[in-house]
Each structure stands twice: as structure tokens, then as C-alpha cells.
Structure 1
Amino acid sequence: MSGEGAPILTVQDCRGLRVAVIAAQWHEKVMDGLIDGSLRALKEYGVEEPTVLRVPGSFELPVVAKRLADRGYDAVVALGVVIRGGTPHFDYVCEAATMGLTQVSVTTGVPVGFGLLTCDNDEQALDRAGLPGSKEDKGHEATTAALATAALLRGVSGPRR
């Protein structure tokens, strides 16, 4: 199971952080679970009024993440799901989205929560979506990781300019 060995994160005070959640529109049921998990984490850690935006698909996550990072957000959470099919499309979209989100985070210094599910089938995606009966809640996990990193960076360098 992919969640085995996951750390228990200590999240510092996140009040006052500007956080955006970007979610793809494909696979509505899975995405609804990921978004719910993300919003639950934001509420638990004191983030008020997050920005939530929907993009057509996972391929579009990096360009929107970059724009938000450039606009002063303290953290961005990227949520999407790509399910393997019979063509190389899966490989191209997964690699482009992953590399793009990594580039956004490294070049801007803004943490990007990586909530992109890359699954072989619908069952795997549903099992990670944080829905009733799911084994994992990747929306919550990605958001918690982004918040923990943003809070850490705020403590290291003061507020972002």
C-alpha cells in the first residue's frame, strides 16, 4: 500500500497563510473526495478563505500554480487524477504535470502540495480519494504537506514578499 511508512507531520500555526487549491475536472467523484480532504485540512489548520479554482485537467495544473505562486500565495495545492489507459497519454500527462509542479515550487519558493493521483485503474483512484471506504486521503495529505512546508518557510525567512 502506498501510504505505508508515511510520516506524521507536525504542522505549525497556519493562520494568515494565503493558500490556493487547484483541482482538475476529470473523474468527478475522485476529485470531489480530494477537494473535500483538502478543504478539511485547511480548516483544521486555521486557513480561512482559501482560493479554490478548477482547471480542465491535470496537464493544466502547473501553469495555474505558477500564476498563483507569482501572485503572492504562500502555498498552492494541486489536485488531479490520471488513470492509465491503452495509450502513452498517461505517461506524458503524468510526467508533464509532475515536472511542471516541481518547477513551480523550486523556481518560486512556494510550496506546492502534490495531490496528483497516478493510478492504473478507477479502483486505485477511489481508494486514495478520501471517500467513505477509501484507504487513503491524498487531498488531506497533500494539503497538510504544503501547509507544513509553508509554515516552516515562514519561520525561516519571515513573510513572503
Structure 2
Amino acid sequence: MSGHGAPTIQATELDASQLTVAVVAASWHTTIMDGLVAGARRALEEAHTGKVVEVRVPGSFELPVAARRLAESADAVVALGVVVRGGTPHFDYVCSAATTGLTDVSVATGKPVGFGVLTCDTEQQGLDRAGLAGSTEDKGYEAAHAAVSTALTLRGLGV
């Protein structure tokens, strides 16, 4: 796990009061997901986000279709999930589908999608990144910050 080179981020530096942000979160690995959602909520509150819509889907594979629908009425989407490697190729298929699907949503809609999908070899790696007490990273917070920051940048382009 590497946080080396990561920028220092503070959502308090952002003014998202005019934005609608949708958070779509998977349901697998409840403890990790609750941490990711809490981190995203904290970032959106600190950025004074105007409106936040939260939706839960069964798993990370379902994130792209929900993100696509939410992007129709939101300025940005935050996608949160966790996939833990098992003994079959399922991990590779789900990770690839979620990553490609969420990228496609962003490019097709012109709306930023904060990528908060953890792809982990072990559940402990997910716990370490979930923003929980004792975690070394807060990927939910980071994904929400990235989505809001990018939405504000795009809005500032005026095109």
C-alpha cells in the first residue's frame, strides 16, 4: 500500500455549495463500506456540498450502471466499493468491469466520477484504507474530494 507522493487534501478548501453530488456504494464488506461512506460524507460536508444523494447497490459490479443513472442529474458521482481477492478469477473480472464501467460513465457524461473502489488482496488491506479508527488511509474521503474538486475545475472552465 502506497500513499507516497499523494497530495495533501482538505475538502474545507472547496466550495461545493452549488453542486449536487451522488454517492453510490456497494454493500459487500459492511465494515469497510461503512468507513468509506463515512469518509465521503465527511468530505462532502466539509466542502459544503449543496445536495448529496446516496444510493446502495449490491456489489462493485453494479456501480457503473447506478453511477450512469445518477450522473444524469448530478454534477459529480462518488463510487465506493471493495473487492477482495479470492481463489478464482472473479476478482479480476469484477475489478476490470467496475474500473472500465466507471471510466466510461465519466467520459460519456462529462461528469467526474470519484473512484473509491478498493481492490485488495486481503480484507485487512480494505480496513487499512477505509478511514476507520486505526486505518492508514481514507479512500472514501479522497474519492469524494477528487469528484468535487474535478467538478469545480470543470465548472470553472466555462465551456
TM over 0.5: same fold?
Answer: yes
Residue 41 of structure 2 aligns to which amino acid in structure 1? L
3-state SS of paired residue (1:46)? coil
CA–CA separation in structure 1 for the residues paired with 2:45 and 2:123: 28
Residue of structure 2 equivalent to 1:116 = 117
| Unmatched tracts of structure 1, length 5 or more | none
Asked whether the equivalents of residues 16 and 50 of structure 2 are also in contact (C-alpha less than 8 Å), the reply is no
Asked whether the equivalents of residues 60 and 94 of structure 2 are also in contact (C-alpha less than 8 Å), the reply is yes
Residue 56 of structure 1 aligns to which amino acid in structure 2? P
CA–CA separation in structure 2 for the residues paired with 1:149 and 1:112: 9
3-state SS of paired residue (1:140)? helix
3-state SS of paired residue (1:68)? helix
Residue of structure 1 equivalent to 2:55 = 53
Residue of structure 2 equivalent to 1:74 = 75
Provide the identity percentage.
64
3-state SS of paired residue (2:148)? helix
C-alpha displacement of 1:4: 1.5
CA–CA separation in structure 2 for the residues paired with 1:107 and 1:120: 31
**Per-residue displacement from partner, 1:29-49 (whole Å, max 9, x unpaired)?**
000000000000000000144
**Per-residue displacement from partner, 1:64-94 (whole Å, max 9, x unpaired)?**
1111112x21000000000000000000000
CA–CA separation in structure 2 for the residues paired with 1:28 and 1:22: 14
**Per-residue displacement from partner, 1:96-120 (whole Å, max 9, x unpaired)?**
0000000000111000000000000
Residue 23 of structure 2 aligns to which amino acid in structure 1? V
Asked whether the equivalents of residues 27 and 59 of structure 2 are also in contact (C-alpha less than 8 Å), the reply is yes
Report the aligned-residue RMSD: 1.2
3-state SS of paired residue (2:43)? helix
Query: What does 1:7-86 correspond to in 2, within 5 Å?
Result: 7-9=7-9, 11-70=13-72, 72-86=73-87
3-state SS of paired residue (1:133)? coil
C-alpha displacement of 1:121: 0.3
C-alpha displacement of 1:3: 1.5
Asked whether the equivalents of residues 128 and 138 of structure 1 are also in contact (C-alpha less than 8 Å), the reply is yes
Residue of structure 2 equivalent to 1:4 = 4
Asked whether the equivalents of residues 22 and 71 of structure 2 are also in contact (C-alpha less than 8 Å), the reply is no
C-alpha displacement of 1:8: 2.5
C-alpha displacement of 1:9: 4.3
Q: How many residues align?
A: 157
The normalised TM-score by structure 1 is 0.94
CA–CA separation in structure 2 for the residues paired with 1:49 and 1:153: 18
C-alpha displacement of 1:129: 0.2
